[in-house]
Structure 1
Amino acid sequence: MKNLIKKVAEISNKYEQLNKISGNAFNVFDVINVTTNEVRLHSKFVAELLNPKGSHGQNDVFLQLFVNQFNIQIDTASVTVEVEKYIGKKTDTEGGYIDIYISDNKNRSITIENKIYAIDQENQLLRYYNFKKDNILYLTLFGDEPSKNSYQFEDQKLEIDKDFKLTSYKNDIEAWLINCRKEAVELPLLREGITHYINLIKILTGQSANNKMNTEIRDYIASSSDNLKQAALIEENMITAKVKIQWLFWQSLKEKMIANGLEIIEKGSVSWQNVNNYYTKSRNRDLYYGFWVKLFEKDNISIHFGIELEQSIYYGFTLEENGKGGISNLEKFAEFKNLVKEINPSYTNNQAWLGWRHTEEKLNFRAFNTEAIFNLADRKLLEKTTETITKNILVDINALKIKLENI
């Protein structure tokens, strides 16, 4: 097994050096720091290709590829493509904004809910379904299921695969983009733009963008029965290794939070079972687990600090009124939202959070493909990482506490 690992490392290092020389490691979206922005990059890029009137100048060629792949009936010549389409004032069962909405002159449509790292909003898919029922696609990096509160409310419950379909960047969108690139082969600027986006998807989904390297590794593994056997053993134990690394991260973080005087609410705290389910369950896997600390309570209003995991680790502040959450973006709580924003402008407000943001060094435990994640295998670097995160959250927590004293 040592020989296999050594050989793969040699191949990887060779292509890493070649990438530096050739510039293949360059990705324009990474350089301008919009790799995970759902609206500014992903929705707009996908919608632009789908739009027959888009700047690509290829009419409905890319849209035809898309509807053929998903077996959707729509008049591609007459469609209108909209990003962030407003569908009315948001209530429990209606309204809001649709990420990508495509409609033709025969009252047929495609609704795409685009999720990179954002959290599901309550009744979100249900509201879109009540607006227009046909061809709803729930698009995530890996084809994950939405949270149940996104498509179930009281007696109305949508069914996966019947009322909406799970789609992924890793398989569905990447395959569509590869076909789009084939159509753009004689248009260099368009072709390379699509190539950059394909490579970005590979990065976000934990794949290597280097096909030559992948081929060389594949051929080496397949060159002997011994190599194949060793590779199978590595694959068999990779999931348990991921579980171990993530669990050690949570244990280390908890120790440091407690050591710094934060009283973690035990109910709902991350468990080893959460972490194990995160990697072993293909459907209904555990998400949004972590640690919670109560910071403030006055006049039926309570504010908590939370640090959680969806794809990557993120943290922030939530608000509840009479024990009910999901109200952090209401106008009557704007004062609290603004206090969080004053602490750090990078905090993002939504229904669930007064403000949330990723850790300074992003830790994507889902893709599991970055140096920041690989470094956690070194116990000293893991401890340094959790120490840095703890210091950063303490700064924000203490700053908010001071501001809350004046309310």
Structure 2
Amino acid sequence: MTGPAPTAPDLAAVQRRTLVVLSAAVALGGLGVTVGITVGGLLAREVAGSDAAAGLGQTASVLGAALVAVPLARASDRWGRRAGLSLGYGVAVLGAGIVVGAAALSSLPLLLAGLFLFGASTSSGLQARYAAADLAEPEHRGRALSLVVWATTIGSVLGPNLAEPGGALGSALGLPELGGAFVLSIAAFAVVVLGVLLLLRPDPLRLARRLAVGSGPAGPPPRTGAGAALRAVWASPGGRLGITAVVVSHAVMVGLMVMTPVHMGGGHGSADGTTLRVIGLVISVHVAGMYLFSPVVGWLADRAGRGTTVALGGVLLLLASVVAGTAPAGAALQLGTGLFLLGLGWSCGLVAGSTLVTESVPASLRPTAQGATDLLMGLGAAVAGAVGGPLLAFGGFGLVAVVSAVFVVPLGLVWAGARRAPAGLRG
């Protein structure tokens, strides 16, 4: 028995409750993610005894986030958002537990396997933004999605500050200090799993399908494969722009962001305390650009249009490449300005692009299409992160910025095509 369908006022109340639960889950989950990210590379270096191993930990986590996106989306498609999100954070609990064991055993292969599964927490946090849009009215869809993105700010700010208490906890438990941070991640993810299972009721996706809220055009049946789902998204001008905006924005953001600390440190792999503090400040400004203004970006996507917001994001990404790419290593103010613009451009592309992807397919196909889009986004980020180092070594940070700017060109071409298409794009 599914019970009677909620009335319009009841549906609004359900959506508000859904946003509260999702925002709390993403905030707490983000705390666990950033605690782990803060020390993951350091732990890999400590276990392997090599600076080169530090990058392997980040790569394993990014690939894990990308490759687990489709299975989690399929779980949501079959059983609802509650099942998909709780499964993702449950996998992250397992991954963090394996990392703790790897730290105790000083095993690099085990550590990389754990960090790969740990990446499911990032994928779950990203998919939560789509759950926020399931019951949203079309005119409020961008705002609903952006509110959950904004909640990530809490974990992103607080997480790195828990690395030191995590170290103390690790020592108290007889573990390597860096392994203690992942004990905190286990606790955070476990609470999220319980919270989602108990509180995300009714399930927003299953209810949306019952009510056909905001349903799109007719399309393939439920549980279509990822390839078919991507083709369905790509078939519409708005869908093409949405996928391109999400993938390009994320790749450009990662490519520039991960190389900035190396550039500021002089490319030597080490820096003094003062330099590290300045680097931390620049990255904090970047994170503020990514998340802090996402509700404004969501409002803009709803009011000015998805296409206009994507275009603004593309301009900001280009401007960020110019400002940051021309900055010397010690120009913290210029680099901070560039990375703030980079984060803001990413926010525009992610929020508006994700909304376009959601609107391009019917409710029956959305989870698979969304998961496949996040897979492409993660793979793009992995490629951008992998090529950043060789580009920096070959031509300096300026070359990294030039290549990043070139990545924006396909976004401009797809945007222009979507604007020309008949009934192609709202805004």
- Asked if Structure 1 and Structure 2 have the same fold, meaning a TM-score greater than 0.5 normalized by the shorter chain, the answer is no
TM-score norm. by structure 1 comes to: 0.29
Bigger proportion of residues as strand: 1
TM-score norm. by structure 2 comes to: 0.28
Greater Rg by CA: 1
Bigger proportion of residues as helix: 2
